[in-house]
Amino acid sequence: MEESDRSTGTESSGTDVTGGRPAPEAVVFDLGNVLLRWDPYAPFEGRLDRAEVEAFFAEIDFFAFNHLQDAGRSWQAAREAVAESHPHRLVALDLYLEHFAEALPGPVEGSEQIVRDLLRAGVHTYGLTNWSAETFHHAGPAAPAVDLLEGIVVSGVEGIAKPDLRVFALVAARFALDPARTVFTDDSAANVAAAAEAGFDAVLFTDAPSLRAELVARGLPLDGDEGPRT
């Protein structure tokens, strides 16, 4: 799981952005803060003072540390690294891992309906996530949209994490995707830039309505109604 970066990216204009290209055949979703929410502070609530959590994150450079987990490092190896460099932070690390499920407070509003609408329209949907192999089992229970996807590449399983271009080649090969006819959406500007470099039609995720507008602008048959279908 990684820190969001929504400062740049594609804006929804409501105009045709296809440039005459055929409509996409598939959409690849990031998971954290796209299909389901991720709040790394939540596991500490009621257990550790916020100032202590901030100090823990700063001392171990949490988001860089977490990227190593996403890239395949085991939590045992991570714990050994903290024991050597910041032994006084082991309690905080153990709290985070023990209560990791609480870091996933639920779905991102509107995203599940987009997945359902795409599938109903015959558009393939997949996932490409930076996530530790050891904690990924928490994803499905946190957001039903995860289990709707036809396949997911998990960085921690593969040992390669976004924005490494190799992981985009991997997802294209695994699911037989033509990147030029595949939309990739992520809340990280760095990952979106890498996906574009890899040939994907890359869209920075800010919220579900904006993503829906981007998909409609690309010719996908979504009617714009975000309410539940009956």
Residue 36's identity, in one-letter code, is L
Global pTM reads 0.90
DSSP state of 25: S
Residues 6 or more apart whose CB falls under 8 angstroms from that of 42 comprise: 99, 102, 103, 105
**Domains in the chain, please, with CATH?**
26-37+106-217 (3.40.50.1000), 42-103 (no CATH)
Q: What was the pLDDT predicted at 4?
A: 62
Nearest CA-CA partner of 114 in 186, 193, 29: 29
Q: What are the pLDDT digits (tens) for 50-94?
A: 999 999 999 999 999 999 999 999 999 999 999 999 999 999 999
Q: What would the 3-class secondary structure string for 51-118 be?
A: HHHHHHHHHHCHHHHHHHHHCCCCHHHHHHHHHHHCHHHHHHHHHHHHCHHHHCCCECCCHHHHHHHH
Q: What are the pLDDT digits (tens) for 19-50?
A: 567 789 999 999 999 999 999 999 999 999 99
DSSP state of 43: G
How far apart are the C-alpha atoms of 2 and 38, rounded to whole Å? 9
Q: What are the pLDDT digits (tens) for 110-159?
A: 999 999 999 999 999 999 999 999 999 999 999 999 999 999 999 999 99
How far apart are the C-alpha atoms of 134 and 141, rounded to whole Å? 15
